[in-house]
Amino acid sequence: MTGKKEKEDCLWARDIAEEQKNVIVQHLPEGINTPSKEFGAVMVNDTLYYSSLNFESTDDKGKKNRRYARILFSVDGVAGKELLNGVNDTTKHTANLVFNKDKTKRYFTRCRYKDELSTEITCAIFMQAQAQDGTWGESMMLPDQINEAGTSNTHPSIGMDKLTGDEYLYFASDRANGKGKLDIWVSEILPEGGFSMPKNLHIVNTEENDVSPFFHNPTQTLFYSSEGKQGLGGLDIYKIRKNNNSWGEAENMGKPVNSSLNDLHFTLNDEGNMGYFSSNRVGSTYLEEEYKLCCEDLYAAEFNIMADLLALVFNKNDNSELPETTIRLLEKLPNGEILEVATLSNPESNIFPFFVERGKTYFLESSHEGFVGQIDTLFVPFDAPDKLEQNIYLNPISVDLQILTYDLDSEEPLSGAAVQIIELGENEEEKIVQEQFNDYGSDFKFPLELNKNYLIRATKPGYKPLEELKLSTEDIKKPEQFLAELFLKRISFSDFLPLAIYFDNDYPDQNSSNRTTDVSYEETVEEYYERKEEYKLLFTEPMTQEEAFLMTERYEAFFEREVKEGMEALKKFSSVLFHFLERGNEVRIKLRGYASPRAEDQYNYNLSYRRIVSVENFLRSYNSGILIPYMTSGALSIERDPIGEKMHQTM
């Protein structure tokens, strides 16, 4: 290690000197740890498998000469026992036991000294397969592409890619084409049991030693140790997350997992709350003072897997806070079942506090009246901070209405229509809530409110009003888009003609013998309608109460249905007339005038003539004179037919 790197490491270590509060590191008890070296621990179910360098070989004269590692197992923290079934070789180091995901194969290393005097060792990776009866088969050395001749290969770990389900062998090797000393390599375990050519895992390797890989399947995280990265000293433990086919950035595990000395062989249980590693940190077991830093011991790292989750709910449209929401926190169990953890409702605020466990997957099921129900997935990683926030954005339930207007006869799109959206109350009372005009198209779009009943009304000059369509937005739970096609029927002249309208006695221009007048029919009818009550009294004064009641009803009906509605019909007729002329047609109208036989024939004839002229005056003044150009050009011609005192007929 260079002096520059040592200085950088010291500055970096100072910045992260504070120990993580959610991790408790404990030295495993005596009986497991010895003055010799213990390492490579992995917990499988309730059994701790580990390696110990606490075994000595003897020559044929019974003289102890060399120390060898063997694989042991311990249950409930009692002293370890040697693993049988042909794993340990008394003439070699046997260490670093690991299992594949379904525990049907176990991998380990056997190492030999290079020669009788050397302390250097060369390792190879072996495998045992489990038979159907549960017994373990013979130990088999992995093929040459893994145990390359002239190289040392050790520290196996089996990881499964969640995306493909394929298993991979991660291991450390000093083979050529690496970055430095020992590098981490990876090889795919092929379906037939073979291995692909190993690839250097460049993203984690350095010029120094990079060793003891362990792939944690639940989180797709690779843990390993390196002395070539910025660290607290010696070998530090790092982690790096795999995301499909790419890797994240390596992170130092920090204190108290790492120390200023060597920390390596990290493993983690599936639940993510208990890890094991080896370290020669201060406090490890030693035989003599001068060798107190010589040998690694086993340590357990207990991780506090609980974290505080704060879920905050917002309206996705405007990011406003959304109180009155209900959230169910659901946990996805390893077997795929869903467990309800908690349910919270908050009428006052958009904040929802929960407790969650690290390493678990949760669903946040949110519901709010008027909004689309939503389920958010939350995975809480093992390295998650103590306090988490999850923002939830709910979509308002939108109900959109699109209306297309058509001509009923031609079935062509109809422009120039007006559409009203009318809200219907409890007693069918009507309230116009939206209205649109489209002079250039036939398309209308309206946003509707939930839990309402609507009536749709479409109108267009020259067409009969249409209000047949009713629409309800009750019980809608998701965004909806409705389409309504409205076919409007053109009003024809036959819908109006013959059209009868009425005048007050001797109107317009009482006591006049002129045939012409400047008065418009609309002026005369307004004055006539205002005299309704006067006529009721006049004609019922000499009658009995019963006769007067019946006559009053008759006059009321006459003024409302004949006088008033006659004027409205004349206006509608004028609108139809304009739209007919607008399309290039020509029209000839006969206006027939009548008078009561209460005066001389000539007087009645002139009065009838004036009445015809007053109607012409109305047509000229209608809608700011839109009919005048057609009257001037002759497209609209009027035939005057004053009948005078003859028997009343419709006009």
**Picking from 16-30, 92-106, 182-196, 493-507, which range would have the lowest pLDDT averaged per residue?**
16-30
Q: Given its phi and psi angles, is residue 466 left (phi above 0), alpha (psi -120 to 50 degrees) or beta?
A: beta
pLDDT higher than threshold 50 for residue 503: yes
Question: What DSSP designation does 560 have?
Answer: I
CATH class of 3-303: mainly beta
Interatomic CA distance for residues 225 and 210, integer angstroms = 6
Q: For residues 75 and 46, is the Cβ–Cβ distance under 8 A?
A: yes
- Listed by start position, the domains of the chain span 3-303, 306-394, 402-490, 494-644
**Confidence label for 291 from pLDDT (cuts 50, 70 and 90):** very low
Element (H, E) at 56: strand 47-58
Largest CA distance in the chain: 163
Percentage of residues of the chain with pLDDT beyond 70: 93
Other CB atoms closer than 10 Å to residue 339's CB: what's the count? Answer: 10
Question: Which one is the CATH code of 402-490: 3.40.50.1970, 2.60.40.1120, 1.10.10.10, 3.30.420.310?
Answer: 2.60.40.1120
Question: What DSSP designation does 245 have?
Answer: T
- Length reported for the chain: 651
What average pLDDT does the segment 533-537 reach? 87
Q: For residues 262 and 284, is the Cβ–Cβ distance under 8 A?
A: no
User: What is the predicted pLDDT for the residue at 541?
Assistant: 83
Q: For residues 604 and 515, is the Cβ–Cβ distance under 8 A?
A: no
Q: Is 148 exposed, middle or buried (0-12, 13-18, 19+ CB in 10 A)?
A: middle
Q: For residues 186 and 172, is the Cβ–Cβ distance under 8 A?
A: no
**Picking from 309-318, 506-515, 589-598, which range would have the lowest pLDDT averaged per residue?**
589-598
Nearest to 225 by CA among 188, 180, 184: 184
CATH topology of domain 306-394: Immunoglobulin-like (2.60.40)
Interatomic CA distance for residues 168 and 247, integer angstroms = 15
pLDDT in tens, 626-644: 999 999 999 999 999 998 7
**Confidence label for 2 from pLDDT (cuts 50, 70 and 90):** low
**Confidence label for 289 from pLDDT (cuts 50, 70 and 90):** very low
**Confidence label for 650 from pLDDT (cuts 50, 70 and 90):** very low
Please check whether the two domains, 306-394 and 402-490, share a CATH topology. Answer: yes
pTM to 2 decimal places: 0.59
**Confidence label for 268 from pLDDT (cuts 50, 70 and 90):** very high
Q: For residues 38 and 298, is the Cβ–Cβ distance under 8 A?
A: yes
What average pLDDT does the segment 35-53 reach? 94
Other CB atoms closer than 10 Å to residue 297's CB: what's the count? Answer: 24
What average pLDDT does the segment 260-272 reach? 93
Interatomic CA distance for residues 611 and 592, integer angstroms = 9
pLDDT higher than threshold 70 for residue 329: yes
pLDDT averaged over every residue in the chain: 89
**Confidence label for 18 from pLDDT (cuts 50, 70 and 90):** low
User: What is the predicted pLDDT for the residue at 597?
Assistant: 78
Torsion, Cα 417 420 421 426, to 10 degrees, reads -140
